[in-house]
Structure 1
Amino acid sequence: MRGLHAASSQRPAGGGLGLPLLMLGIAGLGVVAGTVRAVLLGGPGGWGWLLYAVWLLLPVAVVAAFCLWLSRASPGAALGGGLAAALVAAAFNFEALHPKYNEDANIGLGIYLILGWAFPLGPAVLLGGLIGALVERRRGKPPSPAALEDARPLPPLWPWLLPPLLAALVSAYIQAVWHEDDPASASRVALYFLILLPLTVGMPLLARGLTRGREGRGGFPGFCVGWAVSLLLWNGEGFFFPSGMCFWTIVVLCLLFPTLGYAAGAVLSPKR
């Protein structure tokens, strides 16, 4: 009994949800602050950026999935890296939403959505993680993977990761064909696929960690299917939407499918 009590007292608070939610919250504050400034400088039309908020948080979600994995070996490194990445993301979101950058197509913002996990968030999480690991070691509290092991079951990763991967492959082909004059080559499709891969896999991995436990396992397959649909819609808008369709309508639809997929999976999954 004493051993069980000791192990339970060492379990991470919040079942591992605290750090990802904190990271998303800090980065979200940057979106809110940037949106308010856009409204003050450019008028009420700037409120539309709030609909774009979830997409601006995607690079943070990829880093949060990595920090969830890292916390099992070094909670200090995960905390330091996660906070550093969230602060950098908040600063970037605040600056990127300035009206002067969005008078025309904001190419930098589009690149950030896909590769922001690598830069600028990658160097931030490495530096913050190093500082967190040093502080952890200095305090004389070495990480204990056994103490951090969470006994609640994880949803099965396979075959539910297959729909997002296939969607990323189709999206890569669409991007290579639709936006290029020359026929798509295998190398170009592979390049687009590799660019989309971290975001494609990172979101399901984060959702898998957050749905740990029997009560959330049914929603994970639905989320993966919905995420695959969103990837196709977002990257292949020229194929699936009529030209001139409202951009914010596309954003809302892409946000809706993973949410509905999770809800449907949670409702339809058999109770144990």
Structure 2
Amino acid sequence: MKTINNLHDYSSDTPLALSIGMFDGVHRGHQTIIGNLNEIAHDKGLESAILTFWPHPRTVFNPCDDLKLLNTIEEKTYLLNKNGVQHLFLKEFDEVFRNLSGEEFIRQVLVDKLNVKHLIIGHDHTFGKNRSGDFNLLQKMSSEYGFEVEQVQAVDYHTQPISSTQIRNALVEGNVKAANEMLGYVYSVSGEVIGGKKIGRTIGYPTANIAVNPMKLLPKKGAYVVEVFIDGLQYKGMLSIGTNPTVGGSSLSVEVYILNFNDDIYGKQISVNFRDFLHDEIKFESLEKLIERLDEDKRLTENFKF
């Protein structure tokens, strides 16, 4: 997959089959769009492409909105490539771009710059200043500018359309199983293993502290069954998101106890897949009560079937 970070530098006569959107999560609804996109591109001799934006438009329109995303740019790029997209356009959502009308966006970006011949959009997609662009406008202008357009219906989960927002809400509630079903893959976080307070090792549960990208959405505070990936190898783990209130902690941390593992991994990049929710964050009355709960969490993690 070719990644283009600056539309001003892009010039090609290659006609494209394109879809537009944030594609945060690259969830099952997005995967349906991409599948259709790739099929159309193959059948019509086009190349498939995605136009997405950074930062998220919500953070531009509402700077105080502390929006966390399902994917980092690197994760989104990996997932789009995995799903067979041939071109990825990463467009900065700047002041000039946000002020383009729907018609200007179609003319200047889709037609003049990207040479789009087939456009696929999601069921609720709008674009342009004041959301002036929609499926009806695209249909109206498609014959004039020589491209085809289609709108893909939503993919439902329990009668509700799958959306990035719905998945974020599930994760905030700790419902990682529902999030994984809507995503079509297992939600994960990655980061470098950094130093911590090393309290875990004093009670028989040494943990790896993970420095997670601050833009990445973390599930709700609590304990989880996870898969841990280190140097291409897979382990079972129990992960805690929280402030460690039992020992007087105050800052949020992401810590994972890796079963049957005792190597030094400081400075390494690791990733964890969220498989099940164990319990909310608890402030225990003593370290002994904390250890009892950790022992039970370990038993549940050992017995969990991946």
Measured against the shorter chain, the TM-score band is: under 0.3
Q: Of the two structures, which has the highest relative contact order with CA contacts closer than 8 Å and spacing of 6 or more?
A: 1
TM-score (norm 1): 0.26
Structure number with higher strand proportion = 2
Larger radius of gyration: 2
TM-score by length of 2: 0.24
Answer 1 or 2: which has greater helix percent.
1
